[in-house]
Chains A and B, each alone.
Chain A
Amino acid sequence: MPLWRAFHSHLRHLVSTFVLAWSVGLSGALAQEVPCTLVLSGQVIDAHDREALAFAEVYLPDLGRSAIADSTGHYRIAGLCAGDVLVRVLHFGCEPVERTITLKTDMEFDFRLEHHAEELRAAEIARDRPDEHVGQAHAQVDKDAMARSSGRTLGEMIAVLPGVTTLNSGPTISKPMVHGLTGNRVLVLNQGIRQEDQQWGSEHAPNLDPFSSDRITVVKGAASVQYGSDAIGGVVITEPVELPREGPVSGEVRGVGMLNGQAIGGNGMLQGGVKGVRGLGWRVQGSGRSMGDSRASEYVLSNTGMHETGASASIGFRDHRWNVAGYGSWYARGSGILRAAHIGNLTDLQNAITSGQPWYIGDHTREIDAPRQTVEHLLAKAEAGYAVNERGRLVVTYGYQTDDRQEYDIRRGGRSGTPALDLSLTTHTGDVVYKHWLGKQVHGKVGFSGVYQENINVPGTGIRPLIPNYRKESGGVYAIEHYALNEKLEFEAGARFEMTHLLVAKYTASDVLILPEHDFTNHALSLGANWSMTDSTRIRFNLSSAFRPPHVSELYSEGLHHGSAAIEVGDAALASERAWKGVVDLETALFKGRAHALVTAHASRINHFIYLRPEGYQLTIRGAFPVFNYVATDALISGIDASFDLRITGPFSWRLRASTVHGRDLVRDEWLFQMPSDRVENTFAFTPRRTGRWKELELAATSTLVFEQQRIPVGVDFTDPPRTYHLLGLSASAARPLGKGELRLGLRGSNLLNTAYRDYLDRFRYYTDARGIDIALWITYRFGNN
């Protein structure tokens, strides 16, 4: 019996919950294949007490169709073709059940859902991607939600989740922010590999193509035990795609056009099995996007064009003992930086703030001039897993990535074509993990992970490097164990120990090479519990710690940072940041499943929180600049994320998302800079039943209200935070069968009232309004089973 799967199976319970949450909006929309008329119906019941399970989801993954059982557990799916049909039944608080049913005539089939884990494991359950975050609050953006966000950046795609925002530098550069933390405090995992792409820079967006994955998970807790350093605020995970094990070729093509910026983009994917070799699968994918200057409500945002290209390929083999996989991806992006955001000194900045609009506004163009940046990111990954026995599995993963970044400034003497910053970052990561079962109730994993990294300033810029060359080695060991007390209550505990060695090679102002070395030793602990109080209510609790050794930029920066009109001075004596974060996550279904509520309360104490603090002025030939020193304090960040989904009546539903974050500097007893302000998002959706061959119709109106940030530190910012703003969005999407596949298309309008606004978390708010009205059209065609 493939028992090693067992520990996945009970993690899958959480996946099912999220599938259910996401599918609420789709539930009303059912479709029928015209030439097929068979009906599958029956009842979903609890295997123990034979009671009906209300509102279970009956899902046909191969057909992309689903039905929700009524309050007496009865379900009915009509319009099916004769033959084998795969049915997956999901219910809150239960393990999902999957059966293949052979349809010859109309058929009644009752599903018995289990709470009892052992019996379920005996059932043949298709392998799902394991949920690795039992005790951690997390949220996901799935394939369909990603399709609806086509044309947006990774940061914008996940910013729809409560508690997740973005730190922007104009319309093209956005960094994910979780509970007010970003940059080196939010770890990005790309295909299971720590993404290393100069993420310390506030104008450095993640260098990855979101469509290389089909699901993005955001973990909202401190997660250093599992993932190592930097996971203080949370983790953004672009999940590895599960490769097909067999079967014919399937795929997807997508096109998107956006009015604002006259953007066009596309994505294509093919995947399949290999005939005669069961378990062997492959997938190739490529995408591209190009846009010209965006528009604010009243003017062109000059030099904000961008173009990006991404491609990925993977191949994998899996049987009951082995899994071997290889993955490679390439990503390149060139993006313009708003011309008017390039300033020479503080006077220019003050002029920009008082004038209220950019000093440079040109005609719309697709050309990208300096200031601009180009990045190229390469990732290669190899993974092998082996089921040592029925109770243990060993997985070895190696990742190699290079990240090349050039930043071009406006320079004198024809030097604008020479990068002002030219960095090449190479990272090797290795992980060995042993996943195991101990007895019937305990499962977990122990592992070792290592990182070797070199950062090199490519010579020839003619400018002193912003950050010096460095070499970083780190290694950690960890263990996480889960203990299932009974089917309703599960505990998690984990610990990690990690050491980091850093060698810095820096030329001083008098051109003397210094080679300072730093050692950081850190540990992290985590404790979590997952309690399914009733079928409809679950509480997740997690208290965990995370750490982050200071980045080289915080240790050795010295000089003028043009992007922020400030002289930034590092402090080589800074120590690691250490954080404890507590998260309580309450999820409940109300009104017989018509409503779904999720509330996440979080608080984190970060000792030795490193930030830039203004300390007087320094005179240069460009005038006086404020000096910002990297200093450490103790910080307390707390807040609440809430979401509420309600099916009002028939096809009408209402979704509410709200979040608030409070960040305090405990030493100085004042607010932290650059924390997200409060926000509320209301969506009214209309999901009518099918019309002709169209299904999954959805019309939605979204109102986003972002409040003025009132919680600001004194004397840190150059101007007051922007005012409260409100944005209106409308979207429509639908799907229908076409040929042997399925066509999906959608229209998305953002900032439909063309509101002129600035956002507190946009670093270019000193210079310009944010983007104005935008209308996007996307079309996806999926064929085969995917």
Chain B
Amino acid sequence: MNNKPKKPNTMKTRMKYLTYALIATATITACKKDDDDPVTPTTPPVNEEELITTLRLHFHSAGGAEHKMFVFTDLDGDGGNAPVIMADTLSHDSIYHVEIEVLNESESPAENITEEIEEESDVHQFFFQVSGANATVMYDDMDANMLPIGLESMWTIGAASNGTVIVTLRHEPDKTATGVSSGDITNAGGETDIEVTFPLVIE
């Protein structure tokens, strides 16, 4: 009975030590600096494999007399520095065979994404929406299901004019939906991998 009042004090002391111990443990853990600390990896993360930095449209006139280019480059990917867009002037009343090249130039050597699209050609399709300028675009390639891809196309250029063309790459579009195989994007669905607007100047 006489001991009773003392008990809380000893416990208080014990508790104090326990608290100290806990704080000490926390502090020791905090100070620990492992060489192979998983929180601070010494190697940077691998480059973004699926990043698309560059879209090139190669315009070849009949007989190969002209080679003009539309180029979109955004080397640091989404965000960061603004992309650079370049488009050559096209010649009026002419026909171009257009080849598309898609690259990831953040890697060295640059990764050729065109090949990936070719390998999965049945689930990819390019669309070309021209407005304001006298130009019509027809597909010049086919996937295994005899449906267009758009990596190759024929551009028929009319009289001198100014406008724009939106080049879109859709992943998993419904290629059999109305109008899609003739280049109408309205019913295509799928999700957009590329959507770039180029100025289209015909002189």
Contacts and interface: CB of A to CB of B under 8 A. Distances in A.
Contact of B49 (A413, A459, A503, A622): A413
A501 B29 CA distance: 13
Contacts of A665: none
A109 interface: no
Interface stretch (B40-48, B61-69, B136-144): B40-48
B55 interface: yes
A412 B168 CA distance: 16
Contact of B22 (A448, A471, A560, A625): A448
A457 B55 CA distance: 30
B132 to A, nearest CB: 19
Interface string A333-370: 00000000011110110000000000110000000000
Contact of B78 (A411, A413, A430, A625): A625
B93 interface: no
A487 interface: no
A462 interface: yes
Q: Chain B CB within 10 Å — which of A391, A413, A456, A625 has the most?
A: A413
Contacts of B191: 342-345, 348, 410
Interface string B160-172: 0000000010111
Given A344-B193, A620-B74, A501 B7 contact: no
Nearest to B42: A513
B16 to A, nearest CB: 11
Interface of B: 4, 7-8, 11, 15, 18-19, 22-23, 26, 29-30, 38-42, 44-46, 48-50, 52-53, 55, 72, 74, 76-80, 82-83, 113, 116-117, 119-120, 168, 170-172, 189-197
A450 B79 contact: no
A463 B22 contact: no
A126 interface: no
A412 B120 contact: yes
A345 B192 contact: yes
Contacts of A348: 191-192
B6 to A, nearest CB: 10
29 contacts: A343-B191, A345-B191, A345-B192, A347-B192, A359-B189, A410-B191, A411-B50, A412-B113, A412-B193, A430-B26, A450-B22, A450-B23, A452-B26, A454-B38, A454-B39, A455-B39, A459-B45, A462-B50, A464-B77, A465-B45, A501-B30, A505-B39, A507-B44, A509-B79, A511-B45, A620-B74, A622-B78, A622-B192, A622-B195
A517 B80 CA distance: 23
Interface string A493-517: 0000000010101010101010100
Given A473-B26, A622-B192, A509 B116 contact: no
A388 B22 CA distance: 19
B41 A388 contact: no
A412 B44 contact: no
B116 A360 contact: no
Contacts of B196: 621, 623
Q: Chain A CB within 10 Å — which of B74, B116, B189 has the most?
A: B189
A619 interface: yes
Contact of B8 (A389, A457, A558): A389
Contacts of A359: 189-190
B50 A413 contact: yes
Contacts of B38: 454, 456, 469
Nearest to A477: B19
A558 B79 contact: yes
A463 B83 contact: no
B192 A394 contact: no
B11 A389 contact: yes
A432 interface: yes
Given A348-B191, A412-B171, A464-B48, A560 B78 contact: yes
B40 A410 contact: no
Contact of A513 (B44, B82, B172, B194): B44
A389 B113 CA distance: 73
B171 A344 contact: yes
Interface string A377-409: 000000000001101101010000000000000
Interface in A441-473: 448, 450, 452, 454-457, 459-465, 469-471, 473
A198 B4 CA distance: 48
A781 interface: no
Contact of B15 (A394, A455, A459, A569): A394
B45 A621 contact: no
Contact of B194 (A342, A388, A391, A622): A622
Nearest to B173: A359
A289 B53 CA distance: 43
Contacts of B30: 452, 473, 501
Given A450-B26, A454-B38, A459 B46 contact: yes
Contacts of B48: 462-464
Q: Chain B CB within 10 Å — which of A559, A619, A621 has the most?
A: A621
Given A388-B11, A618-B82, A621-B55, 20 more contacts: A344-B191, A345-B192, A359-B189, A392-B8, A410-B171, A413-B49, A430-B26, A455-B39, A469-B38, A471-B39, A473-B26, A505-B39, A509-B80, A515-B40, A569-B79, A620-B74, A621-B52, A621-B78, A622-B78, A622-B192
Given A389-B4, A465-B45, A515-B40, A620 B83 contact: yes
B195 A347 contact: yes
Given A342-B191, A463-B50, A623-B195, A388 B7 contact: yes
Contacts of B26: 430, 450, 452, 473, 475
A668 interface: no
Interface string A619-647: 11111010000000000000000000000
- Considering the complex of A and B, which 9 residue pairs feature the smallest CB-CB distances, nearest first? A344-B192, A623-B195, A344-B191, A462-B49, A359-B189, A511-B44, A505-B40, A388-B11, A560-B78
A462 B8 CA distance: 59
